[in-house]
């Protein structure tokens, strides 16, 4: 697999009653223009091991397109839940989300779409000597 350097990592949480609430979205933007979006959907990959769904977004692709490729279906389950069926890295994902969590998922998709659409920030890489000096400087005198 080709190495892709990370341009930025941003995590978006959603507020509830003025406090940050979990189940956010993590967007990793690579310098080649591609991205990875961790959605707040958990699924069991092995007994006792749970992972979030990871959307792989190619350069020039939208997050909604990547999500549509993942999604096989959404079913409403009264009184206030949704059953999401999808495919993540060759595994079938079936997750039941409350209506509130499903609304956060939709907000996460919109947030990640705008984060990826923003231009990648350019940062000058520090020289190795400057990094070493900074590290030695934080070690303190012995």
pTM more than 0.85:
no
- pLDDT of 22 higher than 60: no
Contacts of 37 (CB under 8 A, 6+ apart): 25, 26, 27, 28, 54, 55, 57, 63, 66, 112, 116
Please give the residue range of the domain that contains residue 43.
Answer: 6-70+100-122
Please indicate, yes or no, if residue 113 is contained in any of the structural domains: yes
Please indicate, yes or no, if residue 34 is contained in any of the structural domains: yes
- The per-residue pLDDT for 142 is 44
pLDDT tens figures, 91-107: 888 988 889 888 888 88
* Mean of per-residue pLDDT scores for the chain: 81
Range 62-66 contact pairs with CB under 8 angstroms and sequence separation of 24 or more = 62/113, 62/116, 63/35, 63/37, 63/109, 63/112, 63/113, 63/116, 64/109, 64/113, 66/37
pLDDT tens figures, 41-50: 888 888 888 8
CA atoms within 13 A on the CB side of 50: 9
Please indicate, yes or no, if residue 38 is contained in any of the structural domains: yes
Please indicate, yes or no, if residue 76 is contained in any of the structural domains: no
Please indicate, yes or no, if residue 127 is contained in any of the structural domains: no
């Amino acid at each position: 697999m080709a190495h892709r350097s990370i341009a930025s990592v941003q995590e978006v949480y959603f507020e509830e009653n003025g406090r940050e609430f979990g189940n956010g979205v993590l967007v990793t933007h690579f310098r080649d223009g591609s991205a990875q979006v961790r959605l707040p959907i958990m699924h069991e990959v092995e007994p006792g091991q749970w992972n979030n769904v990871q959307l792989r977004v190619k350069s020039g692709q939208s997050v909604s397109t990547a999500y549509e490729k993942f999604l096989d279906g959404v079913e409403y389950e009264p009184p206030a839940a949704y059953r999401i069926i999808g495919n993540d890295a060759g595994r079938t994902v079936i997750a039941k989300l409350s209506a509130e969590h499903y609304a956060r998922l939709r907000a996460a998709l919109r947030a990640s779409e705008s984060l990826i659409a923003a231009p990648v920030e350019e940062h000058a890489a520090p020289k190795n000597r400057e990094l070493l000096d900074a590290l030695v400087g934080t070690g303190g005198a012995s």
